[in-house]
Structure 1
C-alpha cells in the first residue's frame, strides 16, 4: 500500500485533540471535539477516496457502484451539517448563553454548500453512460479546500466550549448523535465504518458501538450496496486496505 495513493490525501487528515492535549482533561467539550475530529477525518477519507479513484472507473457496473458511493458520501456530509445548523449548534449556544458563538462555523458551511450540492446531484442524477471523470474531479476540487478548512477550524471552536456546562453540552451532542443514527442503516453505517481507520494516530475505537454491531453491519446491512463499498479505504472493522481503483 506504501507505493499506491491512499485516502489520507490530497486533503490532509486532522490531528485529534487527544493527541495534543492533556489526556487527563475529561471536560465533555474535549470529548465532543475528539469525536468530531474522527467524524471529520472519515469525511476527508471519503472525499480523498472519490478523488483518487474517479479517473480509473470505466466499466458500467463499476461506474454505477461508484456513483452510489459519491451520492451516499455527499448525502451523509450534507445531513451532518444540516444537523449541526438546526440542532447541535443552537443547543450548544443556548447552554453557553451567547447567540452566534459558533456563527463563524455556520458561515463556513455556506462556503462549500454549493459545491456539495453539485456533487450530490452528480452522484444522484448522472447515468453511467454520461459519467465524465473530469467533470466529477472539477466538482471535488471546488469542494475540497473549503470543506477541509471548515472541518479543521471547527475543532478549536468546540474546544473553546470548555469553560461552560460540560454535562449539558454532552447531552446536546448525544441527542444529535441519536438523531444521526436514524439514517438509512443499509447506507450510512457500512460507509462510515469503512471510512474510519482504527489504526490512525496510534489506534482508536471510534465510533463506540454496542457489541456485535460491526458484525451486523458487515453481514446484514452492507450487503444491499456491497458493490459501492468496494471503494472504501477500510474494511468494516476499520482496517486500512488499498483503494482498488487508485
Structure 2
C-alpha cells in the first residue's frame, strides 16, 4: 500500500461537468433534462476517476478480483447508457420533432470511445486479478479524451433541442427520457450495475447542493432501497465507489 490511510477521492484526471441549470438559471424542461444528463455523466466521470486512482494502490488478489468486478460494472453502465440513447432516446426525440438525425453528432462521438471501452472490458476479462495497473491506465488514457469530450458536449446538445419543440409539435423531453431510461433497467442491471451509477453521484456539495435529494429522484423508503439496501448485494465491489449513500465523497477503499 502507498499509505496506511487511503486518501479521499478527488475529481481527476477527468474534471466534472457543470449542469446547464446551474450555468444559466433556466428551469425549462430541456434545461432540466440536459442537467440530468450532465449529472449522469458526472457519475461516469467519478467512476472513471475512482478506477484510475485506485488501480495503482491494489496489492492483494482478493482486492484486485473485487476491483475487476467494479471496473466491468462501470463499463457496462457507460455502454448501456449510450446504447439506450441510440436505440430509444434519440429515435424518439426524432419522432417527436418530425425530423431525422438530430443527435447524430452524439452518436458519432460514441463511436470515438467505444473501441477503448471494448479494449478495457476484454483486457479485464482476460487478465482478471492478474491485471497490471500500468496497462489498465494506458488503456484508459487511450480513450479518456474522446470520452470526456462527449460527456461535456452532450448536455448542451440536449438543451439546444428546445428549438425544435413548437406549439404545433411539442417535444415532451422529460417523458421521452423517463420512458427510454426505464427500458434499460432489469433485475440484473439493478443489482450488478446500477449501484455504480448512484454511488458515484456527489450531490451534497456539488453546485451548492442544488441537486441533493433531487437527483436521483428517490424519496423515503425507495431512496433507502436504491442507495443502501441494493448495494449490499456485491458490497465488496461497491466499496470502490467515490461517494457514500448520503451524497458525500468518501476515502478510497485502498
Q: TM-score, normalised by structure 2?
A: 0.88
SS of the residue corresponding to residue 95 of structure 2 reads helix
Report the counterpart of residue 46 of structure 1 in structure 2: 47
- The 2-side partners of 1:186 and 1:8 are apart by 26
Once residues 10 and 68 of structure 2 are traced to their aligned partners in structure 1, the CA distance between those partners, rounded to angstroms, is 18
Tell me, in whole angstroms, the C-alpha distance in 1 between the residues paired with 2:45 and 2:235: 21
| Structure 1 unmatched runs, 5+ | none
Runs ≥4 in structure 1, deviation > 4 angstroms? none
Matches within 5 A, 1:87-126: 87-126=88-127
CA distance in 2, matches of 1:188, 1:78: 11
Change (3 A) 1:187 1:223: same
Alignment of 1:91-170 (within 5 A): 91-128=92-129, 130-165=130-165, 167-170=171-174
Residue 211, structure 1, aligned to residue 220, structure 2: yes
Of residues 168, 185, 191, the one that matches 1:186 is 191
Give, in angstroms, the shift of residue 96 of structure 1. 2.1
| Residue 123 of structure 1, CA deviation | 3.2
Residue 176 of structure 2 corresponds to 172
Cα contact 2:89–2:180 (8 A) shared by 1: yes
Give the conservation status (yes or no) of the 8 Å contact 2:77–2:194: no
Pair 49,110 (structure 1): closer, same or farther in 2 beyond 3 Å: same
- Deviation digits for residues 49-78 of structure 1 (CA, Å, limit 9, x no counterpart): 101111111101100110000000001100
CA RMSD of aligned residues (A): 1.8
**Cα distance change of structure 1 residues 7 and 84 upon mapping to structure 2, 3 Å threshold:** farther
Q: Indicate yes or no: 2:23 matched with 1:17.
A: no
Distance (Å, rounded) in 1 between the aligned partners of 2:70 and 2:250: 17
Give deviations 1:151-206, integer Å, cap 9, x for gaps: 10111110111123355222211111211333522123322221000121111131
Give the TM-score normalised by the residue count of structure 1.
0.91
User: Could you tell me how far 1:213 is from its partner in structure 2?
Assistant: 2.4
Residues 92 and 172 of structure 1 are in contact (CA less than 8 Å); yes or no, is this contact kept in structure 2? yes
The secondary structure found in structure 2 opposite 1:126 is helix
Q: Secondary structure at the match of 2:194?
A: helix
Find the partner of 1:234 among 243, 246, 250: 243
Residue 219 of structure 1 and its aligned partner are, at CA, apart by 4.8
Shift of 1:43: 0.2
